[in-house]
């Protein structure tokens, strides 16, 4: 059986677990990272020299790391023409939002997430949190505007691109902070959150 190494509270592990559920393949998830350890052991680093989760391990021992690469692989192998669009232009639109999540939206506001969710109140840097929230608002506006004219990030149907984008939106929309209302983003988030494969993956409260 395929294995997914990583704690379910990790956004990157959530992407992979959700995608595996969408394509309907059985898997075993093994807790690793932070309090669970394992990821810094020599045995794990033989499979992922970065010592990070998630790690995908196939039945034959083949491994793959980097969450978006794993999502693309699972979608292409098990859901070509559906989660993984076969038309290059349609697929590029999904790819775009997957990379945007990693390189733009997440880096902008994750300092606020870390401060508000994982840091005790007495140790928070409020100035850094406020600055991160302001940066995040700009990217939230970009996603909201796009979803005003599209049902999903890649167009009119759910694709692999929605998975990473919704995982970061989950953090943005559920942080204990004031945000500008984003009705298009919130509509899309509610729709994807209702998908059966998301059950037990994107949960609140955040951790």
Q: Using the predicted structure, report yes or no on whether residue 56 has a pLDDT greater than 90.
A: yes
Residue position matching structure tokens 């608002």: 137
**How does pLDDT run across 14-31, given as a tens digit for each residue?**
999 999 999 999 999 999
Alpha-carbon distance values, 174 to 84, 179, 186 (Å): 28, 10, 11
- Cα–chain-centroid distance for residue 76? 18
Question: Mean pLDDT over residues 54-64, rounded?
Answer: 97
Q: Which domains does the chain have, with CATH numbers?
A: 2-78 (3.40.30.10), 88-198 (1.20.1050.10)
**How does pLDDT run across 68-94, given as a tens digit for each residue?**
999 999 999 999 999 999 999 999 999
Q: Using the predicted structure, report yes or no on whether residue 136 has a pLDDT greater than 70.
A: yes
Nearest to 169 by CA among 150, 149, 147: 147
Q: Using the predicted structure, report yes or no on whether residue 107 has a pLDDT greater than 80.
A: yes
Q: Using the predicted structure, report yes or no on whether residue 190 has a pLDDT greater than 90.
A: yes
Q: Using the predicted structure, report yes or no on whether residue 38 has a pLDDT greater than 80.
A: yes
Average pLDDT, rounded, for the chain: 96
Q: Using the predicted structure, report yes or no on whether residue 207 has a pLDDT greater than 80.
A: no
Output the pLDDT for position 204: 65
Question: Mean pLDDT over residues 159-173, rounded?
Answer: 98
């Amino acid at each position: 059986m395929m294995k997914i190494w990583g704690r379910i509270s990790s956004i990157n592990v959530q992407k992979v677990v959700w995608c595996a559920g969408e394509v309907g393949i059985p898997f075993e998830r093994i807790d690793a990272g932070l309090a669970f350890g394992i990821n810094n052991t020599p045995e794990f680093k033989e499979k992922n020299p970065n010592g990070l989760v998630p790690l995908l391990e196939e039945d034959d021992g083949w491994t793959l790391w980097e969450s978006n690469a794993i999502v693309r692989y699972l979608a292409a192998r098990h859901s070509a023409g559906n989660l993984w669009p076969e038309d290059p232009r349609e697929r590029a639109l999904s790819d775009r939002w997957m990379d945007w999540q990693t390189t733009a939206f997440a880096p902008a506001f994750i300092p606020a997430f870390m401060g508000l969710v994982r840091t005790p109140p007495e140790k928070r840097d409020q100035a850094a949190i406020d600055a991160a929230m302001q940066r995040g608002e700009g990217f939230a506006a970009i996603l909201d505007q796009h979803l005003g004219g599209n049902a999903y990030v890649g167009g009119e149907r759910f694709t692999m691109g929605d998975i990473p984008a919704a995982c970061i939106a989950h953090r943005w929309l559920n942080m204990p902070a004031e945000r500008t209302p984003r009705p298009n983003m919130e509509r899309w988030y509610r729709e994807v959150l209702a998908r059966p494969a998301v059950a037990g993956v994107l949960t609140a409260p955040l951790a």
